Chain A
Amino acid sequence: MSAADELRPDVGFPGALACFGFGVAAFFRALSRPWVLLLAWATYTALALPMVVPLYGSLDAALSHNPLAQGHWGQVLLAEHDRVFPGLGRVSAWLPLLSALVMTLLAPGLVRCVHGAPRSRGLGALLAESGRLLPRSLRSLLPALVLLILWTWLWKAFIDPFLLGLDWTNADADRAFRVGLASKLVAGIGVFKVLMLRRLALARLVVEDRRSATWAWLWALGWYARHPLRTWAAYLGLLLVWVVVVSAGSTALDLLEAHFFEQATRPLLFLVATQVVAVLLCAVTLAGFLVAGRLVSIDAALRAGPEVPVAEVTPVAARRGRVASPAPRDEAGIQDDESREVMAWAEGGASHATPGERIDATKDYGTTP
């Protein structure tokens, strides 16, 4: 069975497995876009530096001339430093909000970059694209914020009390605990779902160069209603990658610190090691864009259907002649290899159909099970 077959909506569980696979594969595809990675890394680093630079200065002043700042005693003194100079930490209190805002600005450009061909992109183009698409990004963010608040209220006011108030939960402490845990899991799933839908809506706006955030959200909701399993599967694949990166990275750093750093002063080596982990985390973030973009492409391919001329599956704005898409496209208007593969399936068969060929619905292309 080809990858295109696996992604067929009517195939069910194997399709979800395939989506899980491309969630994982997206991470590796993100790694193949070094300059985008570098840009994401530089962004995150730039956000971190206002906290880290003063922290280093403070630590240097407090500990460098302190002979006790070694080994375990040093760890105690580090805790002491955090307590005595809490202001440095407070600087980073804004970091999450700042990173969310910066990513709101850069996300459209990054989606363009990671979803498009890896070549022919530059920082200027990315920023230009981000700027051009910013209003759409903000418009698509607004429903997400509203939904998050609405969901939180709904969960706190109704769902959680309802679940915890069920008679059968109060009859058994163990069960009650599990229900309590499940209720919070439901809350977490809801939050993740909203963020996922927001990603899809953004990708829809950017990949197809559409303008209406409302339609993008409606499309995202429609897509999710039709393909919940594979949407979740794709993102769970990514989540798995994140957990592996974080766990392996942190453990490796611990080992490195314990076995090399304590004995010899190799700060540069340690810094490089931490930044390798940071780059991998950036790849996970970019992979998130790839996944969303790919789901949009798949939908485009599916919507094109066997009867629709392939040429019609192009960015709406480009079709309308308003904006020329900066992404290099093939004749079918598809931007990346994966989507091209999916497109081939939508056209009737990767090995039999040729780009631009009008699909004959009655013709057997040999790939439909």
Chain B
Amino acid sequence: MSHRLPLTLLLLCSAAPAQGFDKGRSGLPERSERVCSYEMKVRLDPKAKTLVGEQKIRYRNRTPGRTGELRFHLYLNAFRDFRSTHMREAGPEFRKGYKGPEEFGEVRFDALRLVGGAGGPADLLPTLRFDAPDDGNADDRTVAVVALPEPLGPGQEVELATRFTARLPKAYRRTGWGPGNFFMLAQWFPKLGVLEAGDAGGSTWNCHQFHAWTEFYSDFGTYEVRIEVPAGWPVGATGSEVERGVVDDRYEFIRFRQEDVHDFAWVTDPDYRVKTEEAYLPALDPAVAALLRDRLGYDERELALTPVRITYLLHPEHDRPYVFERHRRAVHVALDFFGSRYGRYPYPTLTVVDPCTDPEGGSLGGGMEYPTLITCGTPRYPHPRRLAPEGVTVHEFGHQFWYGLSANNEFEAAWLDEGFNSYSEGRAQDLAYRAYDRALGVGDPVWVSREGTWLIRGRAPASLGPAALLPKGIVGTGLAQLPGRLRRPVRDLGFDGALLPPIDELAIWSELPVLSYERTVPFAYLYADRQQFLSAPMEDPVDRFAWTYSSRTSYRVNSYQRPATVLATLERYVGRDTWVPLMRRYHERARFAHPTGEDFLDTLAEFAGPEARRIGRELLQTTKRVDYGVEVEVRPPFAVRGLDVGADAGNVDEEVVVTVRRKGQLFVPVIVRFSYWKDGTRHDEDRLWDARDQGPWRRWVVTEAEQREKGRLLQVLVDPPRPDLEPFVGPAGVWLVDENLLDNAWQRWPNQRQAKKRSARALLWSQCLSSFFGWMG
């Protein structure tokens, strides 16, 4: 199918604003539909840890139906007490972290007036009530509903004026205050939900409660915020600074403005050290550009990237040249990769915040994304061959595209941003950091992180690393059951039966290659993601509401690693030349819009056909598994004991029965490669086992005659490795989602090297563990 379009049509399409996923779109939209705009003024009282703010909200009903109410997210109320849905879902371990009443937070309306439209002016505050549409929790106050005097019709606008006060929580969950005067202000203001077209021409509010592991969903619009902070405090925020001035002798104000975003976050702390890169012009990947020119007919204007002013706010403990350079490089890598693949970053600014570290060792507010502002996660002592802080920085920047621009409903389909972004983040880093960068001293990454160690050593051994065992292994032998049997006064003293304290820092032992007793191996996100999602039970499909997964682990793997692996698999299946234009086109249509999983599958079908759509749909919307394996039986033609087969049997004196089994429920086409050896040369022959009418097994018999002709059958590979597929070549071919790669290959002569080497390592590791814990004896 040709995807070339006349340039004029492209330009016409580009000029149109976007909000819905436009299946006919080609080219990048210049701006959003700007449904909901906020003009706000907010003042921070650092001593009382409160915000007092005013809002002017202009909202337009873009649905074909009418609505008689407005629904607001009051996210900060999730931290009001332990009875909120967020706190209940977060579990006792999270709740235990709260040490006093000052660590809770809330937001409340002091005034809420309808200034214009829908029968205004009117005071809406008396009509305010709280709703819990997801779980009916009467104690949850994260969704507020106000009634309009008159219904708001299609295309009509309302203007609201509010005053609110926010008491900030401690930033255990990405928003609030931290040690000193650290403030991370996210989800800090009352925010309208999204009115969506409902059934039969109606409309319905999509305004979910704030769950423990859901994120957000909002309409695009313009945000203009005047922030008042103590004089001299650095402020980083969504958008560009447009005005700065003095409020009084103690306070100053800074006004930020940004169009075409759907949220506004800001940070301040007098300790922040600010560095600015005035204009970074992202580099276009020539190979990708050539592909897009060829397949989509794009010209230089469409592909052109634009300069970005990057501001870095670093907390003092992270303000080291080495760390800063790593952040800078990561941001550049991300801007280059995402710009080349998905289109230019459309905003003039980017603020990169490296927040402070919690006394408990956690990063307060770190690893989060907001429009034009990201927060990083920096280890105290970054490892040169472990991609941290790079991983978080690239990932959070990636959210500018997958969440910021392609603004899916994160409550209902978290995988559409986290999964796409994890795939993109992994790909960006696999490409950029494959080789060691001598100048910067990073790269050539290895599996040495805690997760990495877990990956390479497998689930059980890693959980048995000396450090991991200290707090858990010995406790797990029964003492941990003790506290439950104790009376409450004893339990209240904090006795939990632990034999040893939880010293997480000791986990660094298992991160050090010298102590792992395993050789470090090259890192590839493809395989890391694959291992992680396959290690979790497959209880849920990828595509489901984020708070309805069976567990937090299920949410994590189904939102991040599994969709990332599925996307990498689909890329391999359709081929890079199709995939790159496909993803570009999907992003163009999703930009400034609210895409759904079906939108992606439709785009997949458009570019790669219905079979690709079927496979994608089954991988994403079902729990069907992919697993193929091969069994080979070598049958001598004269299998009767003692019978002389004769000298002329030569090297091809048998027949080989090759059985390929489909062990999973999902049917996919697989290539089975037969490798023959004749006269010192190897000859490969690929046979396709098509997905159509695929039974549970398929058998090939390589006869004596066939082996005489082609040579001795040396190897059989199911879904053989594909060195032509970027960027990391490993033992998987197309089907990265194949559950067990161990049985995908067979060779005639055994090679026990790996088994022996690994066993020797395991022996030493066990002996080390014994000598370590022998000390307890």
A-to-B contact residues, CB < 8 Å: 41, 43-45, 47-49, 51-52, 55-56, 59-60, 62-70, 72-84, 86-90, 92-93, 95-97, 99-107, 141, 145, 148-149, 151-153, 155-157, 161, 164-165, 169-174, 176-177, 179-181, 184-185, 187-188, 190-191, 195, 199, 246-247, 250-251, 253-254, 257-258, 261, 265, 267, 270-271, 274-275, 277-278, 281-282, 284-285, 288
Would you call B359 and A89 a contact (CB within 8 A)?
no
Chain A, Cβ-Cβ closest to B746: A65
Would you call B496 and A156 a contact (CB within 8 A)?
yes
Name 11 A/B residue pairs within 8 A (Cβ), A-sorted: A41-B767, A64-B751, A77-B754, A84-B740, A95-B770, A173-B182, A173-B364, A176-B358, A177-B361, A250-B515, A253-B761
Determine how close the nearest CB of chain A comes to the CB of B767; give it in whole angstroms: 4
Would you call A96 and B747 a contact (CB within 8 A)?
no
Contacts of A62 in B (CB 8 A): 742-743
Interface centre among A64, A79, A253, A282 (most CB of B within 10 A): A79
Contacts of A64 in B (CB 8 A): 750-752, 754-755
Would you call A180 and B741 a contact (CB within 8 A)?
no
- C-alpha spacing A93/B463, complex, angstroms: 8
- C-alpha spacing A73/B721, complex, angstroms: 10
B562 at the interface (CB under 8 A from A): no
- C-alpha spacing A36/B717, complex, angstroms: 51
Would you call B460 and A177 a contact (CB within 8 A)?
no
Would you call A96 and B461 a contact (CB within 8 A)?
no
Would you call A80 and B755 a contact (CB within 8 A)?
no
- C-alpha spacing A49/B457, complex, angstroms: 18
Cβ-neighbour of A285 out of B514, B766, B774 (below 8 A): B774
B564 at the interface (CB under 8 A from A): no
Given A99-B770, A284-B771, decide whether A78 and B754 contact each other with a Cβ distance below 8 A: yes
B27 at the interface (CB under 8 A from A): no
B456 at the interface (CB under 8 A from A): yes
Determine how close the nearest CB of chain B comes to the CB of A310; give it in whole angstroms: 34
Given A62-B742, A172-B179, A181-B361, decide whether A67 and B473 contact each other with a Cβ distance below 8 A: no
Contacts of A188 in B (CB 8 A): 501, 503, 506
- C-alpha spacing A270/B753, complex, angstroms: 11
Determine how close the nearest CB of chain B comes to the CB of A152; give it in whole angstroms: 5
Determine how close the nearest CB of chain A comes to the CB of B417; give it in whole angstroms: 27
- C-alpha spacing A76/B534, complex, angstroms: 14
Determine how close the nearest CB of chain B comes to the CB of A237; give it in whole angstroms: 15
Would you call B271 and A173 a contact (CB within 8 A)?
yes
Would you call B469 and A67 a contact (CB within 8 A)?
no
- C-alpha spacing A267/B758, complex, angstroms: 10
Contacts of B360 in A (CB 8 A): 164, 180
- C-alpha spacing A164/B742, complex, angstroms: 48
Given A52-B759, A56-B755, A191-B500, decide whether A99 and B519 contact each other with a Cβ distance below 8 A: no
- C-alpha spacing A63/B753, complex, angstroms: 9
Chain A, Cβ-Cβ closest to B741: A80
Given A56-B755, A96-B464, A157-B495, decide whether A181 and B505 contact each other with a Cβ distance below 8 A: yes
Cβ-neighbour of A157 out of B458, B460, B494, B767 (below 8 A): B494
Contacts of A43 in B (CB 8 A): 770
Contacts of B364 in A (CB 8 A): 173
Query: What 1/0 flags go to B520-548 for Cβ under 8 Å of A?
Result: 11100001000100110000000000000
Would you call A174 and B755 a contact (CB within 8 A)?
no
Given A76-B730, A250-B513, decide whether A81 and B458 contact each other with a Cβ distance below 8 A: yes
Would you call B715 and A67 a contact (CB within 8 A)?
yes
Contacts of B756 in A (CB 8 A): 56, 267, 270-271
- C-alpha spacing A156/B457, complex, angstroms: 31
Contacts of A80 in B (CB 8 A): 531, 731, 740-742
- The 4 closest A-B CB pairs, nearest first, are A82-B458, A89-B460, A103-B777, A48-B766
Would you call A44 and B499 a contact (CB within 8 A)?
no
Would you call A258 and B769 a contact (CB within 8 A)?
no
Would you call B773 and A96 a contact (CB within 8 A)?
yes
Contacts of B182 in A (CB 8 A): 173
Contacts of B459 in A (CB 8 A): 82-83, 86, 89
B690 at the interface (CB under 8 A from A): no
B474 at the interface (CB under 8 A from A): yes
- C-alpha spacing A18/B440, complex, angstroms: 43
Would you call B767 and A48 a contact (CB within 8 A)?
yes
Would you call A165 and B361 a contact (CB within 8 A)?
no
Given A99-B774, A288-B775, decide whether A68 and B521 contact each other with a Cβ distance below 8 A: no
Chain B, Cβ-Cβ closest to A107: B777
Interface centre among A66, A105, A190 (most CB of B within 10 A): A66
- C-alpha spacing A187/B499, complex, angstroms: 12
| Extra inter-chain contacts (9) besides given A69-B751, A180-B361, CB under 8 Å | A41-B767, A62-B742, A86-B458, A86-B459, A97-B473, A173-B316, A247-B515, A254-B513, A285-B774
Would you call A265 and B753 a contact (CB within 8 A)?
yes
Contacts of B715 in A (CB 8 A): 67
Q: Tally of A-B residue pairs with Cβ under 8 A?
A: 330
Cβ-neighbour of A156 out of B99, B494, B764, B773 (below 8 A): B494
Given A72-B521, A75-B521, A285-B771, decide whether A149 and B762 contact each other with a Cβ distance below 8 A: no
Would you call A173 and B760 a contact (CB within 8 A)?
no
Chain A, Cβ-Cβ closest to B516: A250
Query: What 1/0 flags go to B352-363 for Cβ under 8 Å of A?
Result: 000011111100
Would you call A63 and B754 a contact (CB within 8 A)?
yes
B281 at the interface (CB under 8 A from A): no
Determine how close the nearest CB of chain B comes to the CB of A250; give it in whole angstroms: 4
Would you call A95 and B766 a contact (CB within 8 A)?
yes
Contacts of B535 in A (CB 8 A): 83
B180 at the interface (CB under 8 A from A): yes
Given A92-B460, A250-B513, decide whether A44 and B742 contact each other with a Cβ distance below 8 A: no
Would you call A59 and B758 a contact (CB within 8 A)?
yes
- C-alpha spacing A37/B506, complex, angstroms: 28
B439 at the interface (CB under 8 A from A): no
Given A99-B773, A170-B180, decide whether A81 and B766 contact each other with a Cβ distance below 8 A: no
Would you call A195 and B775 a contact (CB within 8 A)?
yes
Would you call B776 and A103 a contact (CB within 8 A)?
yes
- C-alpha spacing A267/B761, complex, angstroms: 11
Would you call A152 and B751 a contact (CB within 8 A)?
no
Contacts of A180 in B (CB 8 A): 358-361
Contacts of A185 in B (CB 8 A): 505
- C-alpha spacing A151/B503, complex, angstroms: 13
- C-alpha spacing A161/B767, complex, angstroms: 37
- C-alpha spacing A63/B359, complex, angstroms: 46
Contacts of A153 in B (CB 8 A): 493-496, 498
Chain A, Cβ-Cβ closest to B178: A173
Given A152-B501, A281-B768, decide whether A45 and B747 contact each other with a Cβ distance below 8 A: no
Chain B, Cβ-Cβ closest to A251: B514
- C-alpha spacing A88/B770, complex, angstroms: 17
- C-alpha spacing A51/B770, complex, angstroms: 13
Cβ-neighbour of B731 out of A55, A73, A177 (below 8 A): A73
Given A48-B763, A51-B762, A157-B494, decide whether A148 and B499 contact each other with a Cβ distance below 8 A: yes
Contacts of A187 in B (CB 8 A): 501, 503
- C-alpha spacing A88/B757, complex, angstroms: 17
Chain A, Cβ-Cβ closest to B740: A84
Interface centre among A77, A96, A148, A285 (most CB of B within 10 A): A96
Contacts of B179 in A (CB 8 A): 169-173, 176
B315 at the interface (CB under 8 A from A): yes
Given A66-B747, A99-B770, A152-B498, decide whether A79 and B515 contact each other with a Cβ distance below 8 A: no
Would you call B521 and A275 a contact (CB within 8 A)?
no
